[in-house]
């Protein structure tokens, strides 16, 4: 056993020197101190690099199919009332959604931006049908309106064209009008009164949309819908009130991930001239973000250009804010990584060993140089 230990002892690459033969110098102490400080600084620098995550970026072709595009928005219109604000979406596949109401919340705001009312009842005006004629049908083009009195007519040719005329016909019959909401004229006049009550107000709209992952657009227009057909009957109200000034508090496609930048967040546009269309053209880039722990987020980035289209003289245009989006065929993937522990350990060993070796070389050079210089000085004195 002793023979084995002796053989192992002969393999020692670090032979020990008796402390009696040590010669400590001032220069060696200074070099050791500087080398120790350098070791600590480089060690903590390497530790910071080890703890810091690095994001690798790759571009690949987007081969996904049948997915949905999630759009989040928060937009304030200081000069458009909530009743008249309508949100529509359509895409190149032919699918369209008019007067979207689900997952939408709107706030009525006054001229100072203070919230008057907040409700989750959809966005846009109610579905106002064409006026009901006396014969039971709806008012068509080039027809004269003659509203029904709902059984209270005094003669066959009597018309009730307002809610008050229906009330008067009921009074003459001795009937009570218990539910005006069931009367077509009262229902329509209630909508008009609601618009008048909200005159001068603004609207903050926020929520989300889920649309097909194809090119399309969504837009906020000042209109109401009639008979399920999108008809901007804006001429019934003041032309001067078509102010589409707006502030985009937030607009994003998909979920948030670290480092995501939405270029339209906080953008404010003030309209100087009435009417017109403000258009945003968005290029949406599918994005996958994978964290260092392996959590994956499916999202999107986008770039934007904008254009204001002034109203043309003699032509009736639809004022509003339009967002036209198109999808990029290239997908961006972000993957968080950090240096492996073995790589960190290797770098630390290289730092310690390298500095120790260099410090030894410098110390040897200083020591022998000082020794040679002192020897020359002694020879000079003897001579």
pLDDT digits (tens, 9 = 90+) for 10-62: 766 666 666 666 677 787 888 888 888 999 999 999 888 888 888 899 999 99
Report yes or no on whether pTM surpasses 0.85: no
Average pLDDT for 276-290:
94
> What does the block give as tokens for 77?
């219109």
Q: Do 74 and 250 form a contact (C-beta atoms < 8 A)?
A: yes
Residue 232: closest CA among 129, 145, 319: 319
> What does the block give as tokens for 180?
């005006």
Higher pLDDT, 310 or 333: 333
79-88, 111-120, 275-284, 305-314: the lowest-pLDDT one: 111-120
Q: Tell me the chain's radius of gyration from C-alpha atoms.
A: 40
Confidence check: pLDDT of 284 > 90: yes
Residue 220: closest CA among 76, 344, 50: 76
Q: Do 286 and 269 form a contact (C-beta atoms < 8 A)?
A: no
Confidence check: pLDDT of 76 > 90: yes
Give the number of other Cβ atoms within 10 Å of residue 139's Cβ: 15
Q: Do 94 and 58 form a contact (C-beta atoms < 8 A)?
A: no
Percent of the chain's residues with pLDDT above 70: 78
Confidence check: pLDDT of 286 > 50: yes
């Amino acid at each position: 056993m002793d023979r084995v230990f002796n053989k192992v002892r002969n393999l020692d690459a670090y032979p020990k020197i008796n402390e009696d033969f040590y010669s400590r110098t001032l220069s060696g102490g200074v070099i050791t101190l500087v080398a120790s400080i350098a070791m600590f600084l480089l060690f903590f620098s390497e530790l910071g690099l080890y703890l810091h995550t690095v994001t690798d970026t790759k571009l690949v072709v987007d081969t996904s199919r049948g997915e949905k595009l999630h759009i989040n928005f928060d937009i304030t219109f200081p000069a458009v009332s909530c009743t008249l604000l309508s949100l529509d979406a359509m895409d190149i596949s032919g699918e369209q959604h008019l007067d979207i109401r689900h997952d939408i919340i709107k706030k009525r705001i006054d001229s100072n931006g203070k919230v008057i009312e907040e409700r989750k009842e959809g966005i846009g005006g109610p579905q106002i049908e064409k006026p009901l004629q006396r014969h039971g049908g709806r008012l068509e083009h080039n027809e004269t309106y003659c509203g029904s009195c709902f059984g209270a007519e005094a003669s066959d040719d009597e018309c009730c064209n307002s809610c008050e005329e229906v009330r008067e016909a009921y009074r003459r019959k001795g009937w009570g009008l218990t539910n005006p909401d069931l009367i077509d004229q009262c229902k329509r006049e209630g909508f008009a009164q609601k618009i008048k009550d909200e005159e001068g107000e603004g609207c903050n709209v926020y929520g989300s949309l889920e649309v097909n992952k194809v090119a399309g657009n969504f837009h906020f227009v000042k209109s109401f819908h009639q008979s399920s057909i999108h008809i901007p009957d804006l001429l019934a109200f003041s032309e001067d009130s078509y102010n589409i000034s707006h502030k985009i508090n937030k607009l994003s496609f998909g979920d948030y991930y670290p480092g995501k930048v939405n270029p339209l967040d906080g953008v404010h546009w003030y309209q100087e001239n009435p009417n017109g269309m403000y258009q945003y053209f968005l290029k949406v880039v599918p994005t996958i973000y994978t964290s260092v722990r392996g959590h994956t987020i499916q999202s999107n980035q986008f770039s934007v250009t904008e254009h204001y289209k002034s109203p043309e003289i003699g032509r009736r245009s639809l004022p509003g804010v339009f967002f036209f989006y198109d999808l990029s065929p290239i997908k961006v993937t972000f993957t968080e990584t950090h240096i492996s522990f073995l790589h960190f350990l290797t770098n630390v060993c290289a730092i310690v060993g390298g500095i120790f070796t260099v410090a030894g070389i410098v110390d040897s050079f200083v020591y022998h140089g000082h020794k040679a210089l002192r020897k020359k000085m002694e020879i000079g004195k003897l001579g």
